[in-house]
Amino acid sequence: MADVSTILNASRVIPVVTIDNPEHAVPVAQALVEGGVGIIELTLRTESALKSLQWIAEEVPGILVGAGTVLTPAQADHAAAAGAQFLVSPGVTPALLQHVLSLNLPFLPGVATVGEVMAVLESGLTAMKFFPAGPAGGPPYLAAIGAPIPQVQFCPTGGVSLASAPEYLALPNVSCVGGSWLTPKTAVEDQDWGRIKELAQEAAGLAVERPARTDASG
């Protein structure tokens, strides 16, 4: 089973994907893999999401498939049963956190405030989704959290784009970003798998430029 650092380091960008027609699920996942992105967060926002998740888990072995938009313990159970290898939530409640911890699956709980980061830290988790990243304050906000709480790694998601991703990825407390831009609704509906592959290639090619560390000890 993958651990959370495998999830965080699988790709610079975790595609956040919403699929209406489960027949599209496997070709979308294959196009992402062909473009160099070996991970997919499938949102539980459509009736057929669990079927899509299951088909990807069964038919695309080259991808790490997880469930996103996990709001309740029951959804977490259903996603795990369908083959999810990791779980992501937009926010977190004590009940959801406690339940997902008992499933022993890598989990990125959503946080947007310092208090929420501290509450999740108390449970022992040190990897979190920062959501909604843009509206909540973007890279300067994450940089500020990193001063008192450097031990948490974030996957900022929500309002992140190919253009804004490098600024997040340059931060020492950001391992990857998430975004829905790799799988535009029009490309999925038109079954334009070539377009999705191109968008994945662009994302996979993102360079990460971290500022050189200053070593106070000399």
DSSP string, 149-206: -TT-EEEEBSS--TTTHHHHHTSTTBS-EEESTTS-HHHHHTT-HHHHHHHHHHHHT-
Sequence-distant (≥ 6) Cβ neighbours of residue 86 within 8 angstroms: 2, 4, 7, 41, 64, 66, 67, 105, 106, 107, 108
Q: Which residue is nearest to ligand 3PG (CB)?
A: 180
113-132 binders of ligand 3PG (CB under 6 A)? 131
**CB-based contact 169:161 (threshold 8 Å):** no
How many angstroms separate the CA atoms of 55 and 51, rounded? 6
With CB under 6 A as the contact rule, the residue among 179, 196, 197, 199 that binds ligand 3PG is 179
- Asked if 158 interacts with ligand 3PG (CB under 6 A), we say yes
Mask 70-99, x = binds ligand 3PG (CB under 6 A)?
--------------------x---------
Which of the stretches 146-154, 178-186, 191-199, 204-212 binds ligand 3PG when contact is defined by CB under 6 A?
178-186
How many angstroms separate the CA atoms of 39 and 22, rounded? 18
Note if 197 is an active site residue: no
- Asked if 139 interacts with ligand 3PG (CB under 6 A), we say no
With CB under 6 A as the contact rule, the residue among 146, 159, 166, 184 that binds ligand 3PG is 159
Write out the residues near ligand 3PG by the rule CB under 6 A. Answer: 16, 43, 68-69, 90, 131, 157-160, 178-181
Q: Provide the annotated active-site residues.
A: 41, 129
